[in-house]
Structure 1
């Protein structure tokens, strides 16, 4: 059996490599894969490859909390994990630099999953006197696995507390107000999962906190589906692909960030405002409307189209005929157990549109 000290040293090396890697994606796949292998062993979480991975998911009144098994599998998306780690790393660096009080920077990680994959690697980088983490998840199984990871990797002094709770109901202790709120509880186009509700609830209690991600932006495009790359190719690597996508921008639809969350403070119902767009006239029938998601974790660290399942494109079919007077669509974001963006034909009740 490999001694824990060797595993811990290797874990730190892999984390540093991931943070600074700026080369071929294939090499990053290997780095993140090795990191996840260590976390999987340390978590002592048994995932049955033949079982239904949705088993154990929880549907709350704020959205779907994916199962511990699904959360563990998401950690293996190398670009997603790397961009979030880099963003959180830089957010912590900024917070430490501006922290003039004799106390550590506090990070609240809401929706940690079984590996706490966006926090545990950075415990190898920042000493506990600089940064303290609160690890929160709705599933007790995930928290027990995360606790095992922290114990096995000797990071116990970096964790202020482990919490089993619905992040949308969690009350932040007065003595543990976070400097950074981290949450990656979302799906494509911010549908199904409770990212919006979680950040609204937590930011209200910690209004000065930095959010990671700092922005989740959704834009509409008309897409020529005959030329859109079928294989998932990251936007950053699309230059090497012979067939390039053909997209006509239709405009921004929704942006989840600190400023917009603050602007919703007076809203008490389940409907958040979003933008109106006018669909351009399509050159041919192959063009269909799609939503594109881009995620800025912090600063220059951006997860772009097709770099992750989070930034896959999502069709929003406009049902029925769409004469010119019905091409203006008004969006809103619907909160609740099945959160999502909704598109309605602006001022035209007889010209339906929707997601």
Structure 2
């Protein structure tokens, strides 16, 4: 009798968080956004994954980031904290779900490669159960061994192993994929605003160039805009106090297909420069800035100042401008990747 009771308990235990994950998925994938509901949902999501992974942020070192010749990979603590970015989490989950559904209209089974999972595979975990394990398989890729151990705990406890084709612990910016690892959808959110410091560009240049011709890339496009800003108050999310001058970099499939060969053959790479002009009649703006816009999938977009990923990078003061000024920009891929900006003297 005792064995029977224990068996029932062990079978039932994963069902409670799975029920919660279904409710979380419903909120994250729906079209409209109720921010009060979203905040409560993310708090619930956090409580579940922290408990399942047994991750205690107070015991994790602050400085366990990893550094490569293609940029920085976040340590376990900082990767876990990405979940706090409400709209980023919602839109990436929503976009990934939409991409999977679109692929399933073309074929019976879909494979997703998720590079940079962090300790929870945050962007795909809540939607796995919305598909059968025959419909969906995932390749989970994480460079940080410690982080991957927490991820495996979450997957094992939720009994989601049937969805996982394999775990890969490796640098996604350099890894060579075999035929069985080539996927229908590639997901990676390994970026900061203005594509600074982290490996997003190098990861997508490496992975996407090895995938099938019809593979979906998430995000589909990351645009960096040269812009002018008159003021910036993070609390005024709807106030438009900026003007976009031009797109100066766009990480998308076309760019990858054009430059991946020479990019992957070099430890450092400069993409073609773009020159923009600030005319002297724009002196009422205060600063030149770089804005980031992330098209996650189709119409699902993270726009200006809606996320930590799209907070403006404010650069030169232009308030005293008396004549037209040319600015040269180019994206520099290296161990400290960033958009380089040079003002004409």
Q: Does 1:44 align with 2:51?
A: no
Indicate the residue corresponding to 1:265 in structure 2. 260
Indicate the residue corresponding to 1:288 in structure 2. 287
TM-score by length of 2: 0.89
Indicate the residue corresponding to 2:24 in structure 1. 14
Correspondence list, 1:175-186, <5 A: 175-186=180-191
Q: Does 1:309 align with 2:308?
A: yes
Q: Does 1:92 align with 2:95?
A: no
Indicate the residue corresponding to 1:135 in structure 2. 140
After superposition, give the CA deviation of every residue in 1:156-180 in whole Å (9 maximum; x if it has no partner).
1000011111101212121221111
Q: Does 1:120 align with 2:125?
A: yes
Cα distance between partner residues in 2 of 1:34 and 1:259: 39
Cα distance between partner residues in 2 of 1:122 and 1:93: 11
Indicate the residue corresponding to 1:247 in structure 2. 242
Indicate the residue corresponding to 2:219 in structure 1. 213
Indicate the residue corresponding to 1:328 in structure 2. 326
Indicate the residue corresponding to 2:149 in structure 1. 144
Contact 1:114–1:142 (CA under 8 A) maintained in structure 2: yes
Cα distance between partner residues in 2 of 1:19 and 1:246: 30
Cα distance between partner residues in 1 of 2:47 and 2:236: 25
Contact 2:270–2:331 (CA under 8 A) maintained in structure 1: yes
Q: Does 1:3 align with 2:9?
A: no
Correspondence list, 1:155-234, <5 A: 155-208=160-213, 209-225=215-231, 228=232, 230-234=233-237
Distance 1:343 1:24, change over 3 A: same
Indicate the residue corresponding to 1:241 in structure 2. none
Contact 2:72–2:336 (CA under 8 A) maintained in structure 1: yes
SS of the aligned residue for 1:31 comes to helix
Q: 1:71 aligns with which of 57, 79, 82?
A: 79
The Cα shift of 1:322 comes to: 6.7
Cα distance between partner residues in 2 of 1:211 and 1:231: 30
Indicate the residue corresponding to 2:6 in structure 1. none
TM-score by length of 1: 0.87
Contact 1:296–1:302 (CA under 8 A) maintained in structure 2: yes
The Cα shift of 1:77 comes to: 1.2
CA-based RMSD: 2.1
- The gaps in structure 1 that reach 5 residues or longer are 239-243
Indicate the residue corresponding to 2:337 in structure 1. 339
Cα distance between partner residues in 1 of 2:143 and 2:330: 27
The Cα shift of 1:37 comes to: 1.3
Contact 1:138–1:164 (CA under 8 A) maintained in structure 2: yes
Contact 1:220–1:251 (CA under 8 A) maintained in structure 2: yes
SS of the aligned residue for 2:94 comes to helix
- The gaps in structure 2 that reach 5 residues or longer are 1-8
Contact 2:283–2:321 (CA under 8 A) maintained in structure 1: no
SS of the aligned residue for 1:264 comes to helix
SS of the aligned residue for 2:130 comes to coil
The Cα shift of 1:247 comes to: 1.7
SS of the aligned residue for 2:84 comes to coil
Cα distance between partner residues in 2 of 1:89 and 1:145: 23
Deviates more, 1:332-341 or 1:202-211: 202-211
Distance 1:266 1:170, change over 3 A: closer
The Cα shift of 1:74 comes to: 0.7
SS of the aligned residue for 2:149 comes to helix
SS of the aligned residue for 2:207 comes to helix
Cα distance between partner residues in 2 of 1:11 and 1:310: 25
The Cα shift of 1:21 comes to: 5.5
The Cα shift of 1:283 comes to: 4.5
